[in-house]
Amino acid sequence: MITAIKGLSPGLENLYKQYNNPKWLRPDPLAIVLEYRQPRDLELAALAAAALALGNASLIEKAVLTALAPFGPKLSGSLYLLKDEEIREASSGFIYRFFGADDIAALLCAARTVQKDHGSLENAFLDGHLASEADYAMAASRFVKLVQKAAPWPFKPNLLPDPAKGSAAKRLFLYLRWMVRKDAIDPGPWARADPALLLVPLDTHMASACRRLGLLKRRSTDLKAAREASAQFRLIRPDDPLRYDFCMTRPGIRPDLDPDKCFAPFIDTI
The pLDDT of residue 267: 59
- Given CA atoms 192, 162, 216, 18 in this order, what sign does their dihedral have? negative
- The segments of the chain whose pLDDT lies below 50 read 270
Whole-angstrom CA distances from 219 to 137, 207, 211, 224, 241 are 20, 9, 9, 10, 21
The pLDDT of residue 5: 83
The pLDDT of residue 269: 55
Ordered by start, the domain boundaries in the chain are 1-27+200-270, 28-165
The pLDDT of residue 268: 57
DSSP structural state of residue 152: S
Whole-angstrom CA distances from 81 to 56, 74, 84, 85, 159 are 33, 11, 10, 12, 24
The pTM (predicted TM-score) of the whole model is 0.96
The pLDDT of residue 17: 96
CA–CA gap between residue 69 and residue 267 (Å, rounded) = 45
The pLDDT of residue 252: 84
pLDDT digits (tens, 9 = 90+) for 209-236: 999 999 999 999 999 999 999 999 999 9
3-state SS record for 26-67: CCCCHHHHCCCCCHHHHHHHHHHHHHCCCCCHHHHHHHHHHH
In order, the DSSP letters of 75-142 are HHHHHHHS-HHHHHHHTTT-EETTEEHHHHHHHHHHHHHHHHHHSSHHHHHHHT--TT-SSSHHHHHH
Whole-angstrom CA distances from 72 to 45, 89, 121, 122 are 11, 15, 20, 22
The pLDDT of residue 262: 86
The pLDDT of residue 100: 98
pLDDT digits (tens, 9 = 90+) for 63-112: 999 999 999 999 999 999 999 999 999 999 999 999 999 999 999 999 99
Q: What share of the chain is helix, strand, coil (3-state, %, to 5)?
A: 60, 0, 35
